[in-house]
Every structure is written in C-alpha cells, then in structure tokens.
Amino acid sequence: MGRSGLSHLDSRNRPTMVDVGGKEVTHREAVAEARVRLPRAVAAALRASGHRTKKGPVFDTAIISGVMAAKRTHELIPFCHPLGLEHCSVQIEDRRGGEVVVRCKVAVHHRTGVEMEALTGATVAALTIYDMCKALSHDIEITGVRLLEKTGGKRAYKRAARKARQA
C-alpha cells in the first residue's frame, strides 16, 4: 500500500494493481443500485407500452446489458482484477413518480471483492434505460449510484436504509 493509504498506489505513489496473491479465497458478494428519474410523461408512456420502445423491451435489455457490463468490469476500470463471476443478477423496480430503481447483485469465490462489478452492472443497466427512452425525452436523470452492501474479505459493509422521501 502506498504512503497515502490508498491501495492502488505503490511505495513511490505510482498507480498499481493490488497484489491479491496472499489473500484468502472467500465467498464475496456485493449489491449496488442506481436510480433513474424519468419525467412523468415518459414514465406513463413507458408503463402504457409494457416497458417497450421502438428499440425493444427496455427493462429486459437493461438487465442483459447490466450483466454483460459486470462481467467486463476489468476491461473498463484499469486496476480491477478479471473475475469469473459465479452469479450476477439485475433487478429493476418501476416505482411511482417516475423513479426506476436498478439493483445489481454479484457473487464470486475469489481473493478480491466484487463491489466494482456490482456498481458497473447497475450503472450500465441505468444507462441502457436512458438510451432506450431518450427519444421520449432527454430530461432523464441517473442518480444515486451507490454500494448497498458487500460481504466476504476483510470488512463487511451494509449501508443504512434510505429514509423515505418527504412528500
């Protein structure tokens, strides 16, 4: 670990991939989410169409793209280790008020965690929803990309529940 305490810096503060060779192989899981805020008219049109646009089934396509992205995270983020994921699922919840919640859960037995894979999967699925709906409006927002929990490795993590929105 570099002098700064950051794991991706060597003793000379240059970028480096973390050496995980000495770590124990454990079962590791991570769950991340991203939120997509659709204008009300877009959300209504999407529901009325059965979540389809001219590009195809929006949520099904987003699920596939999220899984594909999670599997290829190491190709996108320079210091992520290539992992043979054992599980990856993307769930999409269409909520009232135009909010869509995308959650990605990833699992592996390995020496390194899968937080980045879960975050990448959730984010790319959200981007896919944006792409497939942008013909209806560009006033779509992707927000709240965050890790919800992780297990395995040195430290488990679980984010405190999000407080309900004030009406």
Which among 19, 60, 94, 131 is annotated as catalytic?
131
Give the closest residue to 125 by CA, choosing from 98, 103, 150: 103
SS (H, E, C) 98-109: HEEEEEEEEEEE
CB neighbour list of residue 105: distance below 8 Å, 6 or more residues apart: 29, 30, 31, 87, 88, 89, 91, 118
Please check whether residue 77 is in contact with residue 113, taking contact to mean a CB–CB distance below 8 angstroms.
no
In the residue annotation, 139 being an active-site residue is answered as: no
Q: How far apart are CA 84 and CA 114, in angstroms?
A: 11
As annotated, the active-site residues are: 131
